[in-house]
Amino acid sequence: MEKISYLTEEGFKKLKDQVNHLVRVERPSISRQIAEARDKGDLSENAEYDAAKEAQGLLEMRISKLQEVLRNSRILDESKIDASSVKILTKVKLKNIKTKAIMEYTIVAESEADLKAGKISIETPIAKGLLGKKPGEKAKIKIPNGILELEIINISI
C-alpha cells in the first residue's frame, strides 16, 4: 500500500524543484563522469567508473523515491485546518512537565521536517503522541531514553 504524504503548497513545490534539479543537473553530471571514466580504458580495474556507476544507482534510487512521494502527495489547504486539536500543520506550544521547558513545534509531513525551524515529522514518536490532543491535555510519550510527559499549552496554525 502506498503511503500518502500531506504537504503544504510550499513543501510540494520544494520537493518538485528538488526532483527537477536531480534529473536535470545531477543525472547528466553523473552520466558525464561515467563516460569520462569509460574513456580511460579497462573497466575491470577502473575505480572511477565503479564509483560513478554506484553514485548513478544511488541517484536513480533517490529520484525514484522522491517521485513516488510526489505522486502520493496531497496538498493541504491551510485555511481549512481546524486548530482545536493537534493534527498535521498545526503549531503546538508544549510544556515539558518534568523540566518546565516550553517548546513549540509545527507538525509536518516527513519530507518537510526541519528541527532547526521547529518543524517535526508526523512520523516521530512525539508527533504521534500529540495527535488528537487538545489544549490543557497531557501526553505521555515513549521516547528512546524513557517517557516524556508534555502538556499542551496552545494549538495554532
- pLDDT tens digit sequence for 74-121: 887 777 777 888 988 899 999 999 999 999 999 988 888 888 999 999
Which ranges of the chain does DSSP label H, i.e. alpha helix? 9-21, 27-38, 47-71, 125-130
* pLDDT confidence band for 17 (50 / 70 / 90): very high
- pLDDT tens digits, residue range 82-94? 788 898 889 999 9
What global pTM score does this model have?
A: 0.66
For the chain, list the domains and their CATH numbers: 5-75 (1.10.287.180), 78-156 (3.10.50.30)
Structure confidence by residue, pLDDT tens digits, 47-73: 888 888 999 999 999 999 999 988 988
How far apart are the C-alpha atoms of 134 and 82, rounded to whole Å? Answer: 11
Q: What is the pLDDT of residue 1?
A: 61
Q: Collapsing DSSP states into helix, strand and coil, what is residue 18?
A: helix
